Amino acid sequence: MRRRSSFPGRFPWKPGNDESGFFLPFSLFLLLIFTAVTLYSAEEYEAEKKFFREAEHAYQTERILHDAVADFLNRSGAGNVPETGIIRYENGHARYFSGRIGEHLFQIKLQCFTDHGGKLDITFLFDEETGEISGWEEN
């Protein structure tokens, strides 16, 4: 005996002739577009966060360098250039090493370190008589 279908005739969920299955592909396409835009926005956000974090770290390193040069000039203002030293700051520290290369001319090597691992090395010439810096070179 042949079994009869429990759904005689047309299925109730089957689209009519005028719809022809348009809504599901359109919905999936919109979902794909929304997902792509969301992922792109999230990636852009993370890239901007990384850029601004690195810019902040570079600023902190440059700030330590600026303050270290100013503090070195203040320490050597009385005609007494210190040979070595460490200057501590809130976000890091700086080390300097000096060596005489002329009667009144010193070569100073300055290393700046930040707490986040940034490092900046510079070498400059310091004239003890005039108190001026010349020959600035970043390593």
- CATH number reported for the structural domain that contains residue 63 in this entry: 3.30.1300
Average pLDDT, integer, range 109-136: 89
Q: What is the pLDDT of residues 10-27, one digit of tens each?
A: 555 555 555 567 788 899
Identify the domain containing residue 115 by its residue range.
Answer: 27-138
Exposed / middle / buried, residue 124 (Cβ in 10 Å: 0-12, 13-18, 19+): middle
Q: What is the pLDDT of residues 23-67, one digit of tens each?
A: 888 999 999 999 999 999 999 999 999 999 999 999 999 999 999
Average pLDDT, integer, range 86-94: 92
As for how many domains the chain has, the answer is 1
pLDDT greater than 70 at residue 3: no
Please give the structure tokens belonging to residue 11: 């299925």
pTM: 0.70
Residue 43 belongs to some domain of the structure: yes
